[in-house]
Amino acid sequence: MKHFTNVKDLGNLQQAVKEALEIKKNRFAYKHLGENKTLLMVFFNSSLRTRLSTQKAGMNLGMNTIVLDINQGAWKLETERGVIMDGDKPEHILEAIPVMGCYCDVIGVRAFAQFEDKAYDYNETIINQFIKHSGKPVFSMEAATGHPLQAFADLITIEEYKKTKRPKVVLTWAPHPRALPQAVPNSFADFMNEADVDFVITHPKGYELADEFVRGARVEYDQMKAFENADFIYAKSWAAYQDPNYGKILSTDRSWTVSARQMAVTRNAYFMHCLPVRRNMIVTDDVIESPQSIVIPEAANREISAQWVIKKIIEQ
Ligand code: AN0
Ligand code: CP
Protein backbone atom coordinates (compact mmCIF):
# COMPACT_ATOMS: atom_id res chain seq x y z
CA MET A 1 0.00 0.00 0.00
CA LYS A 2 1.40 3.38 -1.01
CA HIS A 3 -1.17 5.89 0.26
CA PHE A 4 -4.21 5.42 2.50
CA THR A 5 -7.17 7.75 2.07
CA ASN A 6 -10.17 5.44 1.74
CA VAL A 7 -11.54 1.92 2.09
CA LYS A 8 -10.37 0.85 -1.38
CA ASP A 9 -6.72 1.28 -0.37
CA LEU A 10 -7.09 -1.56 2.17
CA GLY A 11 -7.62 -4.23 -0.50
CA ASN A 12 -9.64 -7.17 0.80
CA LEU A 13 -11.51 -5.72 3.79
CA GLN A 14 -12.24 -9.02 5.56
CA GLN A 15 -8.59 -9.97 5.28
CA ALA A 16 -7.56 -6.56 6.64
CA VAL A 17 -9.83 -6.96 9.69
CA LYS A 18 -8.45 -10.45 10.28
CA GLU A 19 -4.86 -9.19 10.14
CA ALA A 20 -5.71 -6.25 12.41
CA LEU A 21 -7.09 -8.64 15.04
CA GLU A 22 -3.85 -10.64 14.79
CA ILE A 23 -1.83 -7.44 15.33
CA LYS A 24 -3.97 -6.72 18.40
CA LYS A 25 -2.93 -10.04 19.95
CA ASN A 26 0.76 -9.24 19.58
CA ARG A 27 1.31 -5.59 18.75
CA PHE A 28 5.08 -5.64 19.29
CA ALA A 29 5.78 -8.49 16.87
CA TYR A 30 6.83 -6.12 14.07
CA LYS A 31 9.14 -3.80 16.00
CA HIS A 32 11.99 -4.45 13.56
CA LEU A 33 9.96 -3.08 10.60
CA GLY A 34 10.18 0.54 11.65
CA GLU A 35 13.81 0.65 12.77
CA ASN A 36 15.45 3.91 11.62
CA LYS A 37 12.18 4.99 10.00
CA THR A 38 10.43 8.22 10.90
CA LEU A 39 6.71 8.85 11.05
CA LEU A 40 5.66 12.50 10.72
CA MET A 41 2.15 13.40 11.85
CA VAL A 42 0.92 16.78 10.57
CA PHE A 43 -2.12 18.34 12.23
CA PHE A 44 -4.04 21.27 10.78
CA ASN A 45 -6.78 20.58 13.39
CA SER A 46 -7.07 19.46 17.01
CA SER A 47 -6.96 15.83 18.06
CA LEU A 48 -6.76 13.61 21.11
CA ARG A 49 -7.29 10.02 19.90
CA THR A 50 -5.68 10.27 16.48
CA ARG A 51 -2.59 11.95 17.86
CA LEU A 52 -2.06 9.42 20.66
CA SER A 53 -3.15 6.23 18.89
CA THR A 54 -1.20 6.89 15.69
CA GLN A 55 1.95 7.83 17.58
CA LYS A 56 1.54 4.69 19.68
CA ALA A 57 1.06 2.61 16.53
CA GLY A 58 4.29 4.02 15.08
CA MET A 59 6.14 3.28 18.32
CA ASN A 60 4.77 -0.30 18.38
CA LEU A 61 6.39 -0.71 14.96
CA GLY A 62 9.72 0.63 16.26
CA MET A 63 9.46 3.97 14.43
CA ASN A 64 10.57 7.39 15.51
CA THR A 65 7.61 9.75 15.53
CA ILE A 66 7.42 13.53 15.07
CA VAL A 67 4.25 15.56 15.57
CA LEU A 68 3.80 18.94 13.89
CA ASP A 69 0.88 21.19 14.82
CA ILE A 70 0.62 23.60 11.93
CA ASN A 71 -1.34 26.14 13.97
CA GLN A 72 0.95 26.05 17.00
CA GLY A 73 4.51 27.06 16.29
CA ALA A 74 4.78 26.38 12.56
CA TRP A 75 4.51 29.16 9.98
CA LYS A 76 0.99 29.86 8.79
CA LEU A 77 0.62 28.24 5.38
CA GLU A 78 -0.85 29.67 2.19
CA THR A 79 -2.60 26.85 0.33
CA GLU A 80 -3.77 28.56 -2.89
CA ARG A 81 -1.36 28.77 -5.81
CA GLY A 82 -1.07 32.16 -7.52
CA VAL A 83 -1.87 34.23 -4.43
CA ILE A 84 0.27 37.36 -3.87
CA MET A 85 1.51 36.53 -0.40
CA ASP A 86 1.29 39.97 1.20
CA GLY A 87 -1.03 38.83 4.02
CA ASP A 88 -0.46 36.98 7.30
CA LYS A 89 0.90 33.72 5.82
CA PRO A 90 4.72 33.66 5.49
CA GLU A 91 5.07 30.22 3.85
CA HIS A 92 3.45 28.40 0.95
CA ILE A 93 2.31 24.80 1.31
CA LEU A 94 4.11 24.03 -2.00
CA GLU A 95 7.48 24.54 -0.26
CA ALA A 96 6.41 23.32 3.18
CA ILE A 97 5.23 19.90 1.94
CA PRO A 98 8.42 18.81 0.13
CA VAL A 99 10.47 20.10 3.08
CA MET A 100 8.41 17.98 5.49
CA GLY A 101 8.96 15.04 3.14
CA CYS A 102 12.75 15.43 3.54
CA TYR A 103 12.64 14.54 7.23
CA CYS A 104 10.49 11.42 7.29
CA ASP A 105 9.51 8.15 5.64
CA VAL A 106 5.73 8.26 6.13
CA ILE A 107 3.37 11.23 6.62
CA GLY A 108 -0.01 11.24 8.36
CA VAL A 109 -2.17 14.31 7.64
CA ARG A 110 -5.18 15.75 9.46
CA ALA A 111 -6.89 18.49 7.43
CA PHE A 112 -10.63 18.92 7.99
CA ALA A 113 -13.13 20.30 5.53
CA GLN A 114 -13.17 24.08 5.76
CA PHE A 115 -16.76 24.55 4.54
CA GLU A 116 -15.74 27.57 2.46
CA ASP A 117 -15.70 25.90 -0.94
CA LYS A 118 -17.35 22.52 -1.48
CA ALA A 119 -15.19 21.67 -4.51
CA TYR A 120 -11.99 22.53 -2.60
CA ASP A 121 -13.09 20.20 0.23
CA TYR A 122 -14.46 17.35 -1.90
CA ASN A 123 -11.42 17.39 -4.23
CA GLU A 124 -9.35 16.72 -1.09
CA THR A 125 -7.10 19.60 -2.08
CA ILE A 126 -4.83 19.55 0.99
CA ILE A 127 -4.10 15.83 1.38
CA ASN A 128 -3.73 15.44 -2.38
CA GLN A 129 -1.05 18.13 -2.33
CA PHE A 130 0.83 16.05 0.25
CA ILE A 131 0.49 12.99 -1.99
CA LYS A 132 1.71 14.95 -5.00
CA HIS A 133 4.52 16.99 -3.49
CA SER A 134 5.95 15.20 -0.41
CA GLY A 135 7.57 12.30 -2.26
CA LYS A 136 6.54 10.05 0.65
CA PRO A 137 3.62 7.70 1.40
CA VAL A 138 0.73 9.64 2.93
CA PHE A 139 -2.17 8.48 5.05
CA SER A 140 -5.28 10.29 6.20
CA MET A 141 -5.75 11.11 9.87
CA GLU A 142 -9.12 12.68 8.87
CA ALA A 143 -9.10 14.68 5.68
CA ALA A 144 -11.90 16.80 4.21
CA THR A 145 -14.20 13.99 3.11
CA GLY A 146 -13.13 10.92 5.05
CA HIS A 147 -11.76 9.51 8.29
CA PRO A 148 -10.82 5.98 7.22
CA LEU A 149 -8.62 5.16 10.25
CA GLN A 150 -11.72 5.74 12.37
CA ALA A 151 -14.03 3.69 10.16
CA PHE A 152 -11.52 0.84 10.06
CA ALA A 153 -11.35 0.85 13.88
CA ASP A 154 -15.16 0.93 13.95
CA LEU A 155 -15.37 -2.13 11.71
CA ILE A 156 -12.82 -3.99 13.84
CA THR A 157 -14.94 -3.14 16.91
CA ILE A 158 -18.15 -4.37 15.26
CA GLU A 159 -16.38 -7.59 14.30
CA GLU A 160 -15.35 -8.08 17.94
CA TYR A 161 -18.78 -7.38 19.45
CA LYS A 162 -21.25 -8.75 16.90
CA LYS A 163 -23.46 -11.61 18.05
CA THR A 164 -24.98 -12.45 14.66
CA LYS A 165 -23.26 -13.10 11.35
CA ARG A 166 -24.88 -10.10 9.66
CA PRO A 167 -25.71 -7.47 12.31
CA LYS A 168 -27.98 -4.49 11.71
CA VAL A 169 -25.87 -1.32 11.95
CA VAL A 170 -27.55 2.09 12.10
CA LEU A 171 -25.75 5.37 11.47
CA THR A 172 -27.79 8.15 13.05
CA TRP A 173 -27.38 11.90 12.75
CA ALA A 174 -27.60 13.82 16.04
CA PRO A 175 -27.74 17.53 16.89
CA HIS A 176 -24.63 19.59 17.69
CA PRO A 177 -24.08 23.32 18.27
CA ARG A 178 -21.33 23.60 15.64
CA ALA A 179 -21.16 22.59 12.01
CA LEU A 180 -19.13 19.36 11.80
CA PRO A 181 -17.58 17.76 8.70
CA GLN A 182 -19.12 14.77 6.90
CA ALA A 183 -15.79 12.89 7.03
CA VAL A 184 -16.73 10.46 9.80
CA PRO A 185 -20.18 9.48 8.48
CA ASN A 186 -18.83 9.36 4.90
CA SER A 187 -16.11 6.88 5.83
CA PHE A 188 -18.38 4.90 8.12
CA ALA A 189 -20.84 4.49 5.24
CA ASP A 190 -17.98 3.65 2.87
CA PHE A 191 -16.79 0.83 5.13
CA MET A 192 -20.25 -0.47 6.10
CA ASN A 193 -21.23 -0.68 2.44
CA GLU A 194 -18.27 -3.01 1.90
CA ALA A 195 -18.83 -5.05 5.07
CA ASP A 196 -21.19 -7.94 5.73
CA VAL A 197 -23.78 -5.92 7.68
CA ASP A 198 -27.38 -4.71 7.23
CA PHE A 199 -26.66 -0.98 7.03
CA VAL A 200 -29.21 1.80 7.55
CA ILE A 201 -28.65 5.57 7.67
CA THR A 202 -31.09 7.86 9.46
CA HIS A 203 -31.13 11.66 9.52
CA PRO A 204 -33.57 14.55 9.13
CA LYS A 205 -34.40 15.63 5.57
CA GLY A 206 -31.67 17.84 4.13
CA TYR A 207 -28.77 15.93 5.72
CA GLU A 208 -28.27 13.52 2.79
CA LEU A 209 -24.60 12.58 2.39
CA ALA A 210 -22.79 12.39 -0.96
CA ASP A 211 -23.90 9.54 -3.26
CA GLU A 212 -20.31 8.33 -3.62
CA PHE A 213 -20.40 7.29 0.07
CA VAL A 214 -24.08 6.37 0.55
CA ARG A 215 -24.13 4.26 -2.62
CA GLY A 216 -26.96 1.73 -2.25
CA ALA A 217 -27.42 2.11 1.52
CA ARG A 218 -30.96 2.33 2.90
CA VAL A 219 -31.89 5.82 4.16
CA GLU A 220 -34.76 5.95 6.69
CA TYR A 221 -35.95 9.39 7.77
CA ASP A 222 -37.88 8.05 10.78
CA GLN A 223 -35.22 7.55 13.46
CA MET A 224 -37.37 5.26 15.65
CA LYS A 225 -38.12 3.03 12.68
CA ALA A 226 -34.44 2.89 11.74
CA PHE A 227 -33.51 1.83 15.28
CA GLU A 228 -35.92 -1.15 15.35
CA ASN A 229 -33.97 -4.38 15.94
CA ALA A 230 -30.61 -2.67 15.48
CA ASP A 231 -27.50 -4.42 16.85
CA PHE A 232 -25.23 -1.36 16.67
CA ILE A 233 -26.11 2.34 16.90
CA TYR A 234 -23.44 4.65 15.51
CA ALA A 235 -24.19 8.29 16.35
CA LYS A 236 -22.57 11.30 14.70
CA SER A 237 -23.43 14.87 13.93
CA TRP A 238 -22.64 16.41 10.57
CA ALA A 239 -23.47 19.59 8.71
CA ALA A 240 -25.47 19.56 5.49
CA TYR A 241 -23.73 18.34 2.34
CA GLN A 242 -26.35 19.18 -0.28
CA ASP A 243 -26.46 22.53 -2.07
CA PRO A 244 -27.32 25.28 -1.34
CA ASN A 245 -26.78 24.40 2.35
CA TYR A 246 -23.27 22.93 2.22
CA GLY A 247 -21.64 23.27 5.67
CA LYS A 248 -24.79 24.62 7.35
CA ILE A 249 -26.73 23.44 10.40
CA LEU A 250 -30.34 22.77 9.37
CA SER A 251 -31.69 21.25 12.57
CA THR A 252 -31.05 21.46 16.30
CA ASP A 253 -33.88 19.04 17.10
CA ARG A 254 -32.90 17.34 20.35
CA SER A 255 -35.49 14.61 19.84
CA TRP A 256 -32.67 13.10 17.68
CA THR A 257 -30.33 12.92 20.72
CA VAL A 258 -29.77 9.20 21.32
CA SER A 259 -31.51 8.28 24.59
CA ALA A 260 -33.06 5.28 26.34
CA ARG A 261 -36.26 5.95 24.36
CA GLN A 262 -34.66 5.03 21.02
CA MET A 263 -32.33 2.36 22.45
CA ALA A 264 -35.42 0.54 23.83
CA VAL A 265 -36.58 -0.51 20.33
CA THR A 266 -33.18 -1.97 19.36
CA ARG A 267 -32.00 -5.53 19.93
CA ASN A 268 -30.12 -4.38 23.04
CA ALA A 269 -27.80 -2.55 20.63
CA TYR A 270 -24.29 -1.45 21.36
CA PHE A 271 -23.75 2.31 21.27
CA MET A 272 -20.80 3.67 19.28
CA HIS A 273 -19.35 7.13 18.65
CA CYS A 274 -15.92 8.15 17.36
CA LEU A 275 -15.47 10.74 20.16
CA PRO A 276 -15.14 13.54 21.11
CA VAL A 277 -18.83 13.53 21.98
CA ARG A 278 -21.02 16.24 23.47
CA ARG A 279 -23.16 14.57 26.11
CA ASN A 280 -26.87 15.32 26.10
CA MET A 281 -26.58 16.73 22.57
CA ILE A 282 -25.48 13.58 20.71
CA VAL A 283 -26.21 11.01 23.44
CA THR A 284 -27.59 11.08 26.96
CA ASP A 285 -25.38 10.40 30.01
CA ASP A 286 -27.24 7.18 30.79
CA VAL A 287 -26.77 5.69 27.30
CA ILE A 288 -23.06 6.52 27.02
CA GLU A 289 -22.50 5.21 30.55
CA SER A 290 -24.54 2.04 30.01
CA PRO A 291 -22.91 -1.40 29.68
CA GLN A 292 -23.95 -1.32 26.00
CA SER A 293 -21.70 1.67 25.30
CA ILE A 294 -18.49 0.55 23.60
CA VAL A 295 -16.99 3.96 22.87
CA ILE A 296 -13.82 3.23 24.89
CA PRO A 297 -12.91 -0.12 23.25
CA GLU A 298 -13.79 1.56 19.94
CA ALA A 299 -11.25 4.32 20.65
CA ALA A 300 -8.71 1.70 21.78
CA ASN A 301 -8.98 0.07 18.35
CA ARG A 302 -7.67 3.26 16.73
CA GLU A 303 -4.19 2.08 17.71
CA ILE A 304 -4.83 -1.18 15.85
CA SER A 305 -6.23 0.33 12.65
CA ALA A 306 -3.33 2.80 12.54
CA GLN A 307 -0.79 0.07 13.14
CA TRP A 308 -2.23 -2.08 10.33
CA VAL A 309 -2.06 0.87 7.91
CA ILE A 310 1.45 2.05 8.84
CA LYS A 311 2.72 -1.53 8.78
CA LYS A 312 1.38 -2.06 5.25
CA ILE A 313 3.01 1.18 4.12
CA ILE A 314 6.47 0.51 5.55
CA GLU A 315 6.48 -3.16 4.53
CA GLN A 316 6.66 -2.14 0.86
C1 AN0 B 1 -14.47 16.22 14.33
C2 AN0 B 1 -15.49 15.81 13.25
O3 AN0 B 1 -16.67 15.79 13.55
O4 AN0 B 1 -15.08 15.52 12.12
C5 AN0 B 1 -13.51 15.09 14.63
C6 AN0 B 1 -14.12 13.77 14.93
C7 AN0 B 1 -13.15 12.68 15.01
N8 AN0 B 1 -15.17 16.56 15.55
C9 AN0 B 1 -15.17 17.77 16.06
O10 AN0 B 1 -14.62 18.68 15.49
C11 AN0 B 1 -15.87 17.98 17.37
N1 CP C 1 -12.04 10.06 16.85
C2 CP C 1 -11.02 10.91 16.62
O3 CP C 1 -10.44 10.98 15.53
O4 CP C 1 -10.68 11.67 17.70
P5 CP C 1 -9.66 12.91 17.71
O6 CP C 1 -10.30 14.01 16.92
O7 CP C 1 -9.50 13.24 19.17
O8 CP C 1 -8.38 12.47 17.09
For 83-107, the three-class secondary structure string (H helix, E strand, C coil) is CCCCCCCCEEHHHHHHHHHHCCCEE
Does ligand 2 lie within 6 Å of residue 38's CB atom?
no
The Å distance, Cα 165 to ligand 2 centre, comes to 29
pTM (2 decimals)?
Answer: 0.98
Is residue 154 exposed (0-12), middle (13-18) or buried (19+ Cβ within 10 Å)?
buried
Q: Note the pLDDT of residue 316.
A: 84
Q: Which of 49, 184, 278 to mutate for ligand 1's pocket (most ligand atoms within 8 Å of CB)?
A: 184
Q: Domains in the chain, please, with CATH?
A: 7-146+303-315 (3.40.50.1370), 148-299 (3.40.50.1370)
CA angle centred on 25, ends 24 and 27, rounded to 5°: 60
pLDDT tens string 276-298 = 999 999 999 999 999 999 999 99
Residues near ligand 1 (Cβ within 6 A): 142, 180-181, 183-184, 274, 276
Q: Which of 54, 112, 149, 152 to mutate for ligand 1's pocket (most ligand atoms within 8 Å of CB)?
A: 112
Q: Note the pLDDT of residue 84.
A: 98
Q: Note the pLDDT of residue 73.
A: 87
Q: Which of 42, 50, 277, 302 to mutate for ligand 2's pocket (most ligand atoms within 8 Å of CB)?
A: 50
pLDDT tens string 211-238 = 999 998 999 999 999 999 999 999 999 9
Residue whose CA is at the smallest distance from ligand 1 atom 5 = 276
CA of 235, nearest ligand number: 1
Q: Which residue positions in the chain have pLDDT lower than 70? A: none
Residue whose CA is at the smallest distance from ligand 1 atom 1 = 180
Sequence-distant (≥ 6) Cβ neighbours of residue 121 within 8 angstroms: 113, 114, 115, 144, 145
Strand partners, 120: none
The secondary structure of residue 140, as a DSSP letter, is: E
Q: Which atom of ligand 1 is nearest to the CA of 184?
A: 4
Single-letter code of the amino acid located at 93:
I
Residue whose CA is at the smallest distance from ligand 2 atom 6 = 47
Residue whose CA is at the smallest distance from ligand 2 atom 7 = 48
